Chain A
Amino acid sequence: MSTNYQLRCRECSKLWGNAPRSFCEDCFSPLEIAYDYDALRKIARRDALATRSFNMWRYSEFLPLPDDFTPASAVGGTPLVRSQKLAARWGLHKLYIKNDAVCFPSLSFKDRVVATALVAARRFQFTTVGCSSTGNLANSVAAQAAQQGFDACVFIPADLEPAKILNTAVYGARIVRINGNYDHVNRLCSQIADRFQWGLVNVNLRPYYSEGSKTHGFEIAEQLGWKLPDNVVVPMAGASLIGKIAKAFRELVEVGWVEDKPVKYFGAQATGCSPVSDAVKRNLQRFEPQKPNTIARSLAIGNPADGSFAIKLIRDSGGWAEDISDPEIVDAIKLLAETEGIFTETAGGVTAGVTQKLIAQNRIKPHETTVVCITGNGLKTTDAIAADFPLTEAIAPRLDAFEAYMDAQLNPSLAQPAAAGA
């Protein structure tokens, strides 16, 4: 069994070996996976990647995997899209969209974290896995558990989008709907992890789970030609991803795969649930929890587990955090679709809309290389934008009907004399 990584307390640095444990029993701070970078430098070779498929497992040396690990499926490996139209609209020279809306198998970046969490679940001999989820995580746990033969039990707020519930149910997972918001669900899961011997991916398997997020960052660096960007804009719910992208970049510097350079980390939230951006903007040391009220339900975590680390990272990097309103989220979803052909969910709308705001504030500058992290697929949150796209009137299957239709479209005043005269 590999020994070049183990759990370490993020506050007191005590080492805890490898076990299904998420917090330090001495100081109750979170644990994360720490690597022996001297050992890693000896085994990790960038040129070895040439023969590996383009998915998250190509970075396996940087992940907490057993030596005999064999990938169950080709998770990750999503496009980094060089933006033309949106870049021109925003006046940026080098804008990239990291598009995890098309992540395999369940169309969100959560596929990456579930992939590493289930490796840990197998290793720690759990037969039932689960999670507390705002939707995407439940989708991914259900999908990957089905493929790998785990029983799945997921806990969600009762008012989640129907598509996200359906996208979990179809895989045969047990779904427990909770009358409460995500923070209530998460607290319950903490108690369940305390009581049951289940592998809850974002609770007792959290350190292994969150390592999967790093592959989003590894891919960005590789797709930029083994370079780091100047700016990264990342959606924040539990606020883990932003820190793991930073960890990925640091590790690539540590092993000499990329040149070190300053990267600014920008966090994106919906105004209706913005504890981290609120803390950054008001210069608070601790965030204040909030009661979420936003259409961006996948980001609706009012008490983010990694919020304090995200605040520090954003500040230390010279970045910033911002938030936008629900109407601005819808506008940004449409903007990304119309300019780049990428249909993202509400969380992606938050990220795109916040990027626009940061550019307007001159925090992101035209000549810099900026990566916008899109983490989920618009097909899961169609309710949020359906009202903007009412069905048009159907016409007869005749050419004259189509010509009349086009006349009406091009000259609406002629087609609707009553309205024109009103």
Chain B
Amino acid sequence: MTLNNFKEMNREMPITIEIPTAFRRFTEGAPKVDSAATTVADALNELTAKFPALARHVRDDQGQIRQFLNVYLNEEDIRFLGGESCTLKEGDRVLLVPSIAGGSGRQDLL
């Protein structure tokens, strides 16, 4: 095993995927999920493999990230970073934010 491989194997959850409230019913309530993924695409795939019910909300039938779901790497929309193939480094945060966001899930008050 090379040193690099060793480091790779021993990376401990270097990035975090932040889950909006509306998605948490698919993540057993988890607001964050740690991951060792090295690209945004891998992070999303890992997330949806772990929580299969989330998959159809993240990608459409063509496998593209859904039109009304924005994905950010730290402060930047991934569409400015070359899309979901952009690479991750330790400490990065991947945020999923519905593009028309908001909605508390409160009961209908009427």
Among listed A16-24, A359-367, A370-378, interface-contacting one = A16-24
CB distance from B59 to the nearest CB of A (A): 12
| CB atoms of B101 and A193 under 8 A apart | yes
Q: Which of B43-51, B84-92, B102-110 sits within the interface?
A: B102-110
Number of chain A residues close to chain B: CB under 8 A: 40
**When the two chains form their complex, are residues B79 and A123 in contact, meaning their CB atoms are under 8 A apart?**
no
| B71 → chain A closest CB, angstroms | 11
B11 CB-CB contact with A under 8 Å? no
Contact B77 A289 (CB under 8 A): yes
Interface contact B103-A124, CB-CB below 8 Å? no
In the docked arrangement, what's the CA distance between A30 and B26, Å? Answer: 19
| Chain B interface residues toward A at CB < 8 A | 20-22, 25, 57, 66-70, 72, 75, 77, 79-80, 95, 97-110
Write out the residue numbers on chain A whose beta carbons fall within 8 Å of the beta carbon of B21: 194
How many angstroms between the C-alpha atoms of A124 and B107 in the bound complex? 10
> Considering only CB atoms, which chain A residue lies closest to B107 in the complex?
A19
Residues in B whose Cβ lies below 8 Å from that of A183 = 77
Contacts of A20 in B (CB 8 A): 102-104, 106
Q: A19-B107, A29-B100, A190-B97 known; 17 other A-B pairs, CB under 8 Å?
A: A1-B110, A17-B108, A21-B106, A22-B103, A25-B25, A27-B57, A28-B57, A28-B69, A187-B101, A189-B101, A189-B102, A193-B104, A194-B20, A194-B102, A203-B101, A303-B77, A303-B99
Using Cβ atoms and an 8 Å threshold, which residues of chain B touch A21?
A: 102-106
Give Cα distance in the complex from A204 to B99, angstroms.
Answer: 12
Residues of A1-60 at the interface with B, using a CB-CB cut-off of 8 Å, are 1, 11, 17-23, 25, 27-31
**Contact partner, A190, options B101, B105, B110, Cβ 8 Å:** B101
Flag A183-218 by CB within 8 Å of B: 1 or 0 each: 110010111011001001001111000000000000
Q: For A197, what are the chain B residues with a Cβ–Cβ distance below 8 Å?
A: 104
A308 at the interface (CB under 8 A from B): yes
In the complex formed, the residue of A with least CB distance to B101 is: A190
Contact B22 A23 (CB under 8 A): yes
> How many contacts A-B (CB < 8 Å)?
105
- A:285-334 near B, CB below 8 Å: 286, 288-289, 291, 303, 305, 308
Please, which residues of chain B bring their CB within 8 A of the CB of A29?
67-68, 100
- Pairwise interchain contact A180-B75, C-beta atoms closer than 8 A: yes
Known: A194-B21, A206-B100. A286 touches B67 (CB 8 A): yes
- Contacting residues of chain A (256-308) with chain B, CB-CB under 8 angstroms: 286, 288-289, 291, 303, 305, 308
Tell yes or no: A147 within 8 A of B by CB: no
A23-B70 CB under 8 A given contacts A180-B75, A288-B79 = no
User: How many angstroms from the CA of A230 to the CA of B103 in the assembled complex?
Assistant: 37
Q: Is A125 an interface residue (CB 8 A)?
A: yes
Q: In the complex, what distance in Å separates the CA atom of A275 from the CA atom of B22?
A: 27
A343–B77 Cα gap in the complex (Å)? 36
Chain B residues with CB under 8 A of A303? 70, 77, 99
Task: Return A118 CB to nearest CB of chain B, in Å.
Answer: 16
